[in-house]
A and B are shown apart, each in its own frame.
Chain A
Amino acid sequence: MHQHSRTDPYADRYADRAAGMVASEIRALFAVASRPEVVSLAGGMPNIAALPLDVIGGMLDELTRRRGAEALQYASAQGDPELRARICEVMALEGVHGSPDDVIVTVGSQQALDLLTRIFVDPGDVVLAEAPSYVGALGTFAMYQADVVHVPLDSEGLVPAALRETLERLRREGRRVKFLYTVPTFQNPAGVTLTAARRAELLDICAAHGVLVIEDNPYGLLGFDGEPMRALRADDPDHVIYLGSFSKTFAPGFRIGWALAPHAVRAKLVLAAESAILSHASFSQFAVREYLMTQPWHQQIKSFREMYRERRDAMLDALESMMPAGCTWTRPAGGFFVWLTLPEGLDAKAMAPRAIADRVAYVPGTGFYADGQGRRNMRLSYCYPEPDRIREGVRRLASVVEREIELRDTFGTGRAPERSGVDTPGPDTA
């Protein structure tokens, strides 16, 4: 009698949308990347060690004693009204003027993205995203079986002419475009920022084609030079849904993000949120509200900016002095990430195990595209390691790339056979 079994006995019962959810071997390598021996330029974890943890501890203690009965109770799916009012004050720093009524608090901005895709996207609908785009968004779009069409970006952000051409082509093909998803400021993973001129152009093109814009802006207040960039939402309240987050400006552990949406959309989002989570984490909302009301948060953001600027400088200086000829990279004016392009014929995904063996980690570029692009690219983050570690990491990386160029020259290709699966690290990877 032969016994048949599978690695997963439920393999043939999953919904179609779950069938492709598989982690690749590269993802498993990140188990090594988070060891202290490895310089990880892979993760996107904010450096919350810079927060005054004892002060926050006192604040939470006081909150529990004073308002515990409310803070530990069920709450509405739209979120605490007082917090929503504070969120509007935060958005005002980027020129956005919205009503607390049109804000919904979400479990990080990731949940806002999930809810928006849930209410707007049927399987096969087109979603436009930058090339490259935020991996968490691509995961959500894949989950709802959207057809992601990428629009290229360059050092000035998304290319308007390419957006226009793409929309015209899709219109000719009779495809339904549900929205454009964009991270216009200090983009993840590319580190670039959409210029003011292009912002206006993007809004005009989308208005002309009746395309909704989802502006995801978690890094907007973490600019290194001058005043915050004016948000897209500031200039087109009717066609732009704005997503924000306290994960980078305060702490991701509270999981507080939000969406500011036109009234009718907001109403649907609240119903969708009720079906997803019933009620928000009241305690987290009270904590963030308390933080905004009692702590010098502007000052804290300023010190985050200074810390990240020093790390960005360390990375750019190290890349400049150490990387082999033929490598190019972006120069972010804020946020967490540098996007590096390897010389022709190299494959950042194939190279990843060799980098791990040399005790340096990055995220291969393929994870940031829905269509297999990005093999020559990698995302390097400077948010978490100290400047000395960043320099050491880049030194190790440069040596790996040099040997990779040699391998390419030997075999006439630097590319390995394609492997499937999710090959970006989880959010808890430093």
Chain B
Amino acid sequence: MADLRTPELGHIVVLAGGLSYEREVSLRSGRRVADALRSLDLDVEIRDADATLLDALQAAPPDAVLPVLHGSMGEDGAIRDVLDLLDVPYVGAGPQACRIAWDKPTAKSVVRAAGLTTPPSVTLPKEVFHDLGAAALLDRVVSRLDLPLFVKPARGGSALGVSVVREAGDLPAAMVGCFAYGDAALIERYVEGTEIAVSVIERDGEPVALPAVEIVPAGELYDYTARYDAGDTEFVTPARISDEAARQAADAAVTAHRALGLRDLSRTDLIVDAVGRVNFLEVNVAPGMTETSLFPRAVTAAGLDLGRTLRDLIARRRFP
């Protein structure tokens, strides 16, 4: 990629905040990203996705937008539909690809069709439990999938509302916790193993996997607190997995990126199980960019600079 001189990129808007549960994380991501770009002397403005956004974008259209909105609107394609309507170029996947990636069960079936392994699961909306009765349905889920189970909202991020269930009796509470963050729950067989995240960036239009980052939470779960606060989550780069597993993981992340029609950047969360098999969990179209996030760690592990990496992605959208 040509090292473009900064003035040519023009005015860049980093979209951060929004009204999702991940507002706080998004604001932190936005500040981090803006700082990284400003250190390259780029003209960067951070904007919230609120009632003033449309007027501002129309009054002074930016040369490019970098969305770091997490959660709904940021990742479900909506904000990108809006940017398309305004003819504003932006970094990242288009709306349709976002919609597919955002819906975890849909993303799982797409990557499964592309040849990836993903843990067996069932996705059920709240109403089904209400209408048909929860007890029998949950019994059936347990006997079909086996314990332990992983319960998470079918759409959503930052591990909000997730639980590991080791006893069938704990499943109802896990469902209640999950439905706090969405109206459909993905119940998945919990795969024990090494939890890794593989970030992907595009170079000259080709997706390239960055080194896998291994996550070792202090507790059982890499939950919201472990992600952003606790301080005792450990990250290992590159992940302590076999060369073969590392190759498979890189392939899986690139395959997911391609199969889901993603663009510019993504982060795929995977588990390498006891026999070295790589399992797809989910993909993020607007990966976290906070000081504790995985994507920036992968960029650093690859010997790259976050600001320059993002600048190159912006340049590609600005001058397609």
The answer to whether A and B come from one shared complex is yes
Which A residues lie at the B interface, using CB under 8 A?
2-8, 10-12, 22-25, 28-29, 31-32, 35, 37-38, 347, 350-354, 356-357, 406-408, 410-417, 419-421
Using known A-B contacts A25-B224, A412-B134, determine if residue A32 contacts B175 with beta carbons closer than 8 Å: no
In contact, B19 and A5 (Cβ under 8 angstroms)? no
Using known A-B contacts A23-B229, A29-B21, A31-B27, determine if residue A2 contacts B238 with beta carbons closer than 8 Å: yes
Residues of chain A lying within 8 A (CB to CB) of residue B181: 353
Alpha-carbon distance A412/B170, docked complex (angstroms): 12
Chain A nearest CB, measured from B175 CB (Å): 6
Chain A nearest CB, measured from B120 CB (Å): 22
Q: Is B180 engaged at the interface, CB distance under 8 Å to the other chain? A: yes
Q: Is B109 engaged at the interface, CB distance under 8 Å to the other chain? A: no
> Which residues of B in the span 12-52 have a Cβ within 8 Å of any Cβ on A?
19-25, 27, 50
Chain A nearest CB, measured from B196 CB (Å): 12
The number of chain B residues with a CB under 8 A from chain A is 49
Alpha-carbon distance A408/B134, docked complex (angstroms): 11
Residues of chain B lying within 8 A (CB to CB) of residue A31: 23-24, 27
Chain A nearest CB, measured from B236 CB (Å): 5
In contact, B231 and A414 (Cβ under 8 angstroms)? no
In contact, A354 and B180 (Cβ under 8 angstroms)? yes
Additional 5 contacts, C-beta under 8 A, given A38-B19, A407-B130: A3-B236, A7-B228, A8-B231, A408-B176, A417-B174
In contact, A413 and B126 (Cβ under 8 angstroms)? no
Q: Which of A3, A408, A417 contacts B237 (CB under 8 A)?
A: A3
In contact, B225 and A421 (Cβ under 8 angstroms)? yes
In contact, B176 and A356 (Cβ under 8 angstroms)? no
Residues of chain A lying within 8 A (CB to CB) of residue B233: 6-7
Closest 3 CB pairs of A and B: A8-B231, A416-B177, A31-B24
Q: Is B307 engaged at the interface, CB distance under 8 Å to the other chain? A: no
Residues 287-320 of B, flagged 1 when their CB comes within 8 A of A and 0 if not, give: 0000010000100010000000000000000000
Chain B nearest CB, measured from A420 CB (Å): 7
Q: Which of A4, A356, A415 contacts B234 (CB under 8 A)?
A: A4
Which B residues lie at the A interface, using CB under 8 A?
19-25, 27, 50, 126, 129-130, 133-135, 158, 160-161, 163, 170, 172-177, 179-181, 223-238, 240, 292, 297, 301
Using known A-B contacts A2-B240, A4-B236, A412-B172, determine if residue A353 contacts B160 with beta carbons closer than 8 Å: yes
In contact, A35 and B24 (Cβ under 8 angstroms)? no
Using known A-B contacts A353-B161, A411-B172, A419-B223, determine if residue A6 contacts B235 with beta carbons closer than 8 Å: yes
B128's nearest neighbour on chain A, judged by CB, is A410
In contact, B180 and A28 (Cβ under 8 angstroms)? no
Residues of chain A lying within 8 A (CB to CB) of residue B227: 7
Using known A-B contacts A407-B126, A412-B172, A417-B174, determine if residue A35 contacts B19 with beta carbons closer than 8 Å: yes
A420's nearest neighbour on chain B, judged by CB, is B225
Alpha-carbon distance A31/B27, docked complex (angstroms): 9
Residues of chain A lying within 8 A (CB to CB) of residue B24: 28, 31-32
Using known A-B contacts A5-B297, A31-B24, determine if residue A421 contacts B229 with beta carbons closer than 8 Å: yes
Using known A-B contacts A2-B240, A6-B232, A11-B232, determine if residue A415 contacts B173 with beta carbons closer than 8 Å: yes
Residues of chain B lying within 8 A (CB to CB) of residue A420: 225
Residues of chain A lying within 8 A (CB to CB) of residue B176: 347, 350, 407-408, 411, 413-416
Using known A-B contacts A31-B23, A406-B130, determine if residue A8 contacts B180 with beta carbons closer than 8 Å: no
In contact, B129 and A411 (Cβ under 8 angstroms)? yes
Residues of chain A lying within 8 A (CB to CB) of residue B223: 25, 419
Residues of chain B lying within 8 A (CB to CB) of residue A416: 173-174, 176-177, 180
Chain B nearest CB, measured from A295 CB (Å): 37
Residues of chain B lying within 8 A (CB to CB) of residue A417: 163, 170, 173-174, 177
Alpha-carbon distance A52/B244, docked complex (angstroms): 71
**18 interchain pairs, CB-CB under 8 A:** A4-B235, A4-B236, A7-B233, A7-B235, A8-B230, A23-B229, A25-B224, A28-B21, A28-B22, A35-B50, A353-B21, A353-B181, A410-B130, A410-B133, A410-B134, A411-B134, A416-B177, A417-B177
Alpha-carbon distance A6/B177, docked complex (angstroms): 27
Residues of chain A lying within 8 A (CB to CB) of residue B19: 32, 35, 37-38
Chain A nearest CB, measured from B114 CB (Å): 30
Alpha-carbon distance A10/B232, docked complex (angstroms): 9
Chain A nearest CB, measured from B195 CB (Å): 14
Residues of chain B lying within 8 A (CB to CB) of residue A12: 232
Alpha-carbon distance A50/B247, docked complex (angstroms): 64
Chain B nearest CB, measured from A5 CB (Å): 5
Residues of chain A lying within 8 A (CB to CB) of residue B163: 417
Residues of chain A lying within 8 A (CB to CB) of residue B160: 25, 353
Alpha-carbon distance A7/B230, docked complex (angstroms): 7
In contact, B237 and A2 (Cβ under 8 angstroms)? yes
Alpha-carbon distance A410/B130, docked complex (angstroms): 5
Residues of chain A lying within 8 A (CB to CB) of residue B129: 410-411
In contact, B134 and A25 (Cβ under 8 angstroms)? no
Using known A-B contacts A25-B225, A353-B160, A353-B161, determine if residue A3 contacts B180 with beta carbons closer than 8 Å: no
Chain B nearest CB, measured from A12 CB (Å): 8
Chain B nearest CB, measured from A352 CB (Å): 7
In contact, A28 and B236 (Cβ under 8 angstroms)? no
Residues of chain B lying within 8 A (CB to CB) of residue A29: 21
Using known A-B contacts A7-B292, A411-B175, A417-B174, determine if residue A32 contacts B230 with beta carbons closer than 8 Å: no
Alpha-carbon distance A353/B181, docked complex (angstroms): 6
Using known A-B contacts A4-B234, A353-B181, determine if residue A22 contacts B225 with beta carbons closer than 8 Å: yes
Alpha-carbon distance A2/B237, docked complex (angstroms): 5
In contact, A32 and B130 (Cβ under 8 angstroms)? no
Alpha-carbon distance A4/B233, docked complex (angstroms): 10
